[in-house]
Chain A
Amino acid sequence: MSIIQLSVFLENRLGRLDDVLQILKDNNINIRALSLADKANYGILRMIVDNPEKCITVLKKENVSVNFTSVVAVEVEDRPGGLHEVVKLLVEGGINIEYMYAFVEKTKDKAVVVFRVEDIEKAEECLVLAGKKVLEKEEIPF
């Protein structure tokens, strides 16, 4: 049910992000959501793309270090308190959030929040039981 997120290790030097994005563009890979964790010496680019398998292959071929992990993507009402409801469900379920980021769905009046958690199945269960819509891979609109 979960969604594949790619993470790319980026050395902190001029043009490195540009290099990676150029590779995606040249291979016709679309990014749906991304977040960047920045440290003094390096960053981690996390992305949800339309074709993760192809993306991993082309990045590896270009010697970019890339890894993947599963994340939970859940629809959130685009109104005050929308995100709070979802986070509260996870907290009550005893689920620790490593990090999260959001994007807005083009076609609907909803936002999508991506959560990275240890226990994905449990997180999804908490959310689904409370009537939240957890997105499947095919449901991410590209």
Chain B
Amino acid sequence: MDKFEVEWLPEKELKRIQLERLRNILKYVKEKVPFYNNLFNEKKINIDKFSSLDDLKNLPFTTKSALRDNYPFSLFAVPVSQVLEIHASSGTTGKLTVVGYTKNDLKLWSEVMARTLLCAGVKKGDIIHNAYGYGLFTGGLGFHYGALELGIPVVPVSAGGTKRQLMLIEDFKSTVLTCTPSYSLCMAEEARDMGMDPSKTSIRLGIFGAEPWSEGIREQIEREWNMLALDVYGLSEIIGPGVAMECPGKKGLHIWADHFLPEVIDPETGEVLEEGREGELVITTLTKEALPFIRYRTGDIVSLTSEPCSFCGRTMPRISKIKGRIDDMLIIRGVNVFPSQIEAVLMNIPEVAPHYQIILTREKHLDRMEILVEVVEDVFSDEVKKLEEIEKKVLSEIESTLGISVSVKLVEPKSIERSMGKAKRVIDLRQGGGQCP
């Protein structure tokens, strides 16, 4: 199945392909997408002068608002009649973002998803239990197409109906689980409630994505399921899942840079950052037909390296695990806080579960951050002082990590809502800041 030699090309060769494709796509969008034609004219950009990948930094960014402003199809580079599949994702604010795929785009998607599965170590004999949602969300169908391309059996179970999912895994002896990381934990919990031991199932490998997750959560998933848990990255605007994938060496996610050209920028200044520095991931699609993007700001915080992987030898650049999202970043009394930092702290305190919820309020013009944390059932004590000790421990560790004062409230086990899809970690009740639950 080893037909994707491009992933091992020398860097110079890869860059040559990228530049050639970049020049083509620039011509293509200027000709086919009025939005880009106007943008290039307005910024006086002459795409014919484009001679090196470095010139990319002079091009303007595209943001999610371009999608919203051109709702539903105005950013498409082809007539809708040439589009075979349309997906949409619910933006947390405002309109849906709509994406489309031509026949060639679907081929591309199948290819990058096949590469993604291979990279994770999926092989003949595996059965993929695909619990990503099928529908407008790209997760379900993306994995489905990858499995078809590779010729690996896929169980298109979609999200939800956890008991039934567990029964299917047991009966079909599925070996690969694909879903969001939080849903895999939800499944493990349900399994134990049913008297089933998740570590004894046939699942050996999990490919998890669609939300940021910490190393601590990875360890927990691997322990509870007795599996290898790997991170997949993608977003519907670029293609869906299949943009980047970890190999079993867990040395960052290999980004399929022959199709998706990555940069990391300072989200404030827009300046391109040198390798290794953390910033916002920006992607230019090099080969997409229906919805090509030039310098699309993903909102995801990563760092980038082009060193070949010491585990698998792939030369494709690698992005770090997603640290957080620009829009998830909370500004609490002027301090930047990522929910993932809180998760990392909780993972290291055995007396509490890693399930948490952040509630933001404003009192007398000051932001207040309250963190609801579940007590682990086994350590719940009849003595107030023991609970107080747990509360204090959580409080002091979170405060020392974040550098701001917060309040911590212990809540009953399993009382924080479990999610089938993306976990809702933050409830922002500050005026003008986000929405009520």
Q: Could you list which residues of chain A lie within 8 angstroms of chain B, going by C-beta atoms?
A: 5, 7, 9-11, 37, 39, 41-42, 44, 46, 63-67, 69, 98-99, 116
Contact = CB atoms under 8 A, between A and B. Distances in A.
Contact of A7 (B375, B381, B412): B381
Give the interface residue-count category, chain B.
10 to 19
- Binding site of A, secondary structure by majority: helix, strand, loop or mixed? strand
A116 B382 contact: yes
Contact of A63 (B381, B383, B410, B414): B414
B409 interface: yes
B410 A42 contact: yes
Given A5-B382, A65-B375, A67-B382, A41 B409 contact: yes
Contact of B380 (A5, A37, A67): A67
A42 B415 CA distance: 13
B387 interface: yes
A65 B377 contact: yes
Given A44-B383, A116-B383, 19 more contacts: A7-B381, A9-B380, A9-B387, A9-B410, A11-B415, A39-B384, A39-B387, A39-B388, A41-B410, A42-B387, A42-B411, A44-B382, A44-B384, A63-B415, A64-B412, A65-B377, A65-B380, A66-B380, A67-B382
B205 to A, nearest CB: 31
Interface string B106-149: 00000000000000000000000000000000000000000000
Nearest to A39: B384
Contacts of A64: 412
Nearest to B377: A65
B384 A9 contact: no
A11 B382 contact: no
Nearest to A5: B382
Given A65-B412, A65-B413, A37 B384 contact: yes
B382 A69 contact: yes
Contacts of B411: 11, 42
Contacts of A67: 377, 380-382
Contacts of A7: 380-382
A103 B413 CA distance: 31
Nearest to A98: B383
Interface in B385-437: 387-388, 409-415
Nearest to B391: A41
B165 to A, nearest CB: 20
A42 B384 CA distance: 10
A45 B124 CA distance: 55
Contacts of B388: 39
Nearest to A69: B382
Most chain-B Cβ atoms within 10 A of its Cβ — which of A9, A11, A39, A66?
A9
B352 to A, nearest CB: 12
A42 to B, nearest CB: 6
A86 B411 CA distance: 36
B408 to A, nearest CB: 9
Contacts of A66: 380
Nearest to B381: A67
A20 B381 CA distance: 17
Contacts of A11: 411-412, 415
